[in-house]
Structure 1
Amino acid sequence: MSLLAFGLNHQTAPLSVREKLAFPAQTLPEALASLVATQAAREAAILSTCNRTEIYCASSDDGAALEWLSRYHGLPAAELQPYLYRLNGDEAARHAFRVASGLDSMVLGETQILGQIKDAVRTAEQVGTLGVLLNGLFQKTFAVAKEVRSKTGVGANSVSMAAAAVKLAEQIFPTIGELNVLFIGAGEMIELVATHFAARGPSCITVANRTLERAQALAERFGGNAVTLAALPDLLSRYDVVVTSTASQLPILGKGMVERAIKVRRHRPMFMLDLAVPRDIEAEAGALNDVFLYTVDDIASVVEVGREARQFAAEEAETIITSRAAEFADWIKRRQTVPLIRALRDESDRIRRLALEAAQKQLARGEDPQKVLEILSVQLTNKLMHPPTQALSSGGGADRDQLVQAVARLYRIQSESE
C-alpha cells in the first residue's frame, strides 16, 4: 500500500475542464465512501477548490483510483489524462507540502488553501477514510506549512483573490462608493470578497443565497440586505457589481437573465466576477455588450502583483519542503517494516510461551527449580539463535557476506575476520 496523489489544477487544466471534476462540499462524504468501497484505495482524502481537484490516497493500484475518478464524473479516462498529474511516495508528500504552503497557488503564498486542506482532512476523518498513512501525511503537512510561514516571507505583500476582485472592478468604475454590489452565495470566498468591497463603502450591498438565514447572517455584518436566489430575475438589473461563488452544479445566472437586466439598465455597464467552479454564470453572458464577465482564471494577472518580491522567499520555502519530504519518506520506509517487526515479536513470543509451558510442567512434577531455570534459559537461547545460525551456516557468496554484516550489526559484535 503506497501513497498516491493525483489531480489537476489551474496550471494543468483550463476552467472548462476543472469544473467537470469538481466535488461540491455536500457530495464529498459520499465520494470518499465510494472510492474506498470500490477498493480503489484503502484511505482517501479529496481536496476540491476553484483552482484544483486533488485526491490523496493509500492505494496498491494507481490505475484503479484513476479509473474511479473517471467513472464517478462520467468522463472518459482518455479525456482526462492530458490534464492530470500523478505523484507517488515522497513526491506526493512534497506536493502536499507545497500546496499547503501556498507555493502551488495562483496567488503565491496565499493562506486560504491551508484552511481548505484542513476542511478536506476533517471530512475524510468524519467519513472514516483517514488512516495511519494519510493522517501521518497531513499532520506533517500542517507542520511544514507552519514552518514555512514562520521562517520565510513567502506570503508577504500578496494580493489575494478577494482584493483582486476589487481591483478589477475599479478598472471599469471610477469609484466603488457609488455602486450597488450583489454577492451570490454566503460561503468563505464571498465573505472574503465582501470584506474588501465593504471597505470601499459601496452605495448598497446585497447577499443572495439559497437559504435566506445564511444570507442574512452575512449581510448584517456589512450593513446590507439579504434575498433568496429566487428573487434574482427581478433584482439583477439594480446592481453594478455581481460577485458569485456557490456550490451549484448548474449556472445560476443564464445569458437570458443577464441580457434582460442589461436592457433594464439601459446598457449601463455591469461587472460580473464568477469565482465558482463549476461556473455560476453562463459563459455566453460575457459576449453581451456592456457586460464585463471575469472568471477565477481571469484574475491571474492581477494577483501576480508582488510575486517577484516573494519569489526569493519561495526558494527558501522549497529548501525547507525538500528536507521535510525526505523526513517523511524515511517515516514511510519505517512504517513498511512494521509488519515484519510485528511478525518477529509474535514468533519470539510463541517460542517464549512454549518454553514457559514446558518449564511449568517440570515444576509441577516437583523437579529442582534451579535445574528447570537452567534448562529454560538454554532452550530459549537455542530457539532464538537457531534461525540466524542456520542462515549463516547455509548461505554462500555475496549473499552470505551481506548476511554476516547484517547479523554482526544487529547483535553489535565483530566476526573473527574483523
Structure 2
Amino acid sequence: MQVFLQPEALYKNMQVSHSKEIANFHIVGINYKKTDAAIRGLYAINPAQYQHLLEHARTVQLDDLFVLSTCNRTEIYGFAGNPRELMDLLCRESNGDREQLEEMAYTKSGEEAIRHLYQVGTGLDSQILGDYEIIGQIRNAAKFAKAQLCLGSFLERLINSVLQVSKLIKTETGLSKGTVSVAFATVRMLERKCPDIRDKKIVLLGVGKIGRNTCKNMIEYLGVKEVTLINRTLQVAAAFASEHGLQFAPYENMVNEIQSADVILVASNAPQPTVLAHHLTHSSPKLIIDLSIPFNVEAAVGELAHISLVNVDELSKVQDETLQNRLGEVPKAIAIIEEHMTEFLYWYKMRKHAVVLKAVKEKLHEIHMREIQQQKNGANYKMEDIEQVSSRIIQKMINLMAGKVRKETDKSDQYIAMINDIFETGVNQD
C-alpha cells in the first residue's frame, strides 16, 4: 500500500552528514507516561513550527525525518549522527526547555526505534489502548515531511509498512474493537458528572476533528441538542450546526456564550489559552473539559471554586470494559508487528546488498569493456580474441579478491569462506 506519490528523483541532489545505517535511525520523544499535559503542551509542534523545523533540518543536512505531535506525545523520528541532533531541532521550534527535555525524554535507536513506531502506529503505545486515530496522524505527519523533501525511501517504506500492519491488526484482532477514544471518554465523563446533561446548555469551542467527534458522540450517546458551536471560522461552525441541528455563534461572542453555559468543551487547539479566569470569575457553576494540547483553558480557571476543570489526562483515566477486552488482543497484535518488522528488516538488508551487487556488476562491465577494446584494437573480432578476453577478466577478478583478502588479514578466513559459499566450489575447508 503506497500512500506517497512524489518521485525519488526529488532526493537525488540532497546531501546528508551521516550514514543511513539502521544504527543511525533514532527517535526522541515525550509522552503521557512520564509527563502531564501541561509539560507536553510546551513541546507540541503546530503546522507552522513543523515547517520551520523541517526547513532548518535541511540546512543542517538532516533530510530523512518527521515529527509526530498529538495530545499524548511529541516525537521526532529520523536519521542523524546521534539523537541530540533531533533533540536540537525539537527544542529550537517548541516552547520547551532543553534541560527539561533531556530529563523527561526517551530516546531509542536502531531496531528499537523501528519497533516503537510500529507500536505507536497500532495503538499499543497509546494512552487509550488500541486508539486507531493515531495512524491517521502518522500518515499526515509523514506526508507533510515528504512535501518538504524531508522523507527518504527508508522512512517512506517503514511508514507504509506501519500503515499496513495497523490495518491488519484492526481487521484481524479485537485491539481496536469497541468505542474508546478521547471523544468517547468525554461522553463517559459527562455521564458521570452531569447525569442531567440533556437539560444543560453546552458550548463547544473549536469545531476541528476532535470537537466534531466529541459533539457527534454527545448527540449519539447522550441525546443532547442544546449545543452552541463557536469557531474562529464562522462558516465551519455554521455548516456543522446545520448538518446536526445545532446552534452556532460568532467567535466574538465567545465570552457571553461561555458565561451563560453549564458545560464548556474546549477543542480550539490555539497556541495560547482562549478561556481565561477573568471570563468566568463571576459566572454560574460550570463544568469545563479542555481537550486541547497545549491547554486552551487558563490554569487559573481551575482554581475558581465554582468551576470544575477536566483535562485530557483525566479523561484518559476513564476505564471501560472495552479496554479490558482489548488487553487480551495485545499478544496477537505483537505477533503481527514482529512478522512484518522482520519483513521490513529483510527488505532493508537486501536493499543494501542490491547496492553492492549493482556496483560489482558495473565494475565487471567496466573491466569487460576495457578488455574487449584492448583486444580488438581496431581489428576484426575473432573467437581466439574472446577466449583471451574472458581469461584475462577471470584472472583480474581473482586478483581483486586475492588483493582484498591479503589486505584484510583479520577477515581473510571470513572472506574466503564467503567466496567459497557464493560460488559453490564444493571445496571442504576443514
Q: TM-score, normalised by structure 2?
A: 0.88
Could you tell me which of 388, 407, 410 is aligned with 1:375?
388
Q: Which residue in 2 is equivalent to 1:409?
A: 421
Identity %: 24
Structure 1 pair 328–416 and aligned structure 2 pair: CA distance change class (3 A):
closer
| TM-superposed deviation, 1:393 | 6.6
**Pairing 1:63–2:100 present:** no
Unaligned runs of 5+ in 2: 1-19
Work out whether 1:211 is the aligned partner of 2:233.
yes
Q: Equivalent residues in 2 for 1:286-325 (5 A)?
A: 286-303=302-319, 305-325=321-341
1:365 corresponds to: 379
Q: Which residue in the other structure is 2:138 paired with?
A: 117
**Amino acid paired to 1:157:** G
* 2:33 aligned with 1:11: yes
In 2, distance between residues paired with 1:146 and 1:359?
60
- Matched residue of 1:153: which SS? coil
Q: Which residue of 1 aligns with 2:399?
A: 386
Judging changes above 3 Å, is the alpha-carbon distance between structure 1 residues 241 and 376 closer, same or farther for their aligned structure 2 residues?
Answer: same
Tell me if 1:351 matches 2:371.
Answer: no
User: Residue 260 of structure 2 aligns with which residue?
Assistant: 238
What is residue 90 of structure 1 aligned with on the other side?
A: 111
| SS in structure 2 of the partner of residue 226 of structure 1 | strand
Aligned residues: 407
- 8 A contact 2:178–2:322 mirrored in 1: yes
Q: 1:24 aligns with which of 46, 70, 76?
A: 46
Can you give the 5+ residue segments of structure 1 that lack an aligned partner in the other structure? none
- Which residue matches 2:63? 42
Tell me the secondary structure at the aligned position of residue 130 of structure 1: coil
What is the DSSP-based 3-state SS (H/G/I as helix, E as strand, rest coil) of the residue aligned with 2:411?
A: helix
Range with greater deviation from structure 2 (192-201 or 347-356): 347-356
- 2:411 aligned residue (388, 399, 411): 399
Describe the shift of the 1:408–1:257 C-alpha distance in structure 2 as closer, same or farther (beyond 3 A).
same
Going from structure 1 to structure 2, the CA distance change for 1:249 and 1:405 (only over 3 Å counts) comes to same
Answer yes or no: is the 8 Å Cα contact 1:42–1:59 preserved in 2: no
Moved more, 383-392 or 279-288: 383-392
Partner residue in 2 for 1:195: 216
Name the Cα RMSD after superposition.
2.1
The alpha-carbon deviation at position 57 of structure 1 amounts to 0.8
Do 2:27 and 2:83's aligned partners in 1 also have CA atoms closer than 8 Å?
Answer: no
Q: Which residue of 1 aligns with 2:249?
A: 227
Distance in 1, Cα, partners of 2:146 & 2:209: 21
Q: Secondary structure at the match of 2:328?
A: helix
* TM-score (ref. length: structure 1): 0.91
Question: What is the Cα deviation at residue 107 of structure 1?
Answer: 1.2
Taking the aligned partners of 2:406 and 2:72, their CA distance within structure 1 comes to: 61
Contact 2:225/2:246 (8 A) holds in 1: no
Map of 1:279 onto structure 2: 295
Aligned counterparts of 1:357 and 1:34: Cα–Cα separation in 2: 50
CA deviations over 1:283-302 (Å, ceiling 9, x no partner):
11012122111100011221
Q: Which segment drifts farther, 125-134 or 71-80?
A: 71-80
Query: Is the 2:45–2:93 Cα contact (8 Å) retained in structure 1?
Result: no
Amino acid at match of 1:151: E
Q: Is the 8 A contact 2:203 2:261 kept in 1?
A: yes
* Counterpart Cα distance in 2 of 1:75 and 1:211: 29
Q: Is the 8 A contact 2:45 2:94 kept in 1?
A: no
> Aligned-pair distance for 1:74?
5.2
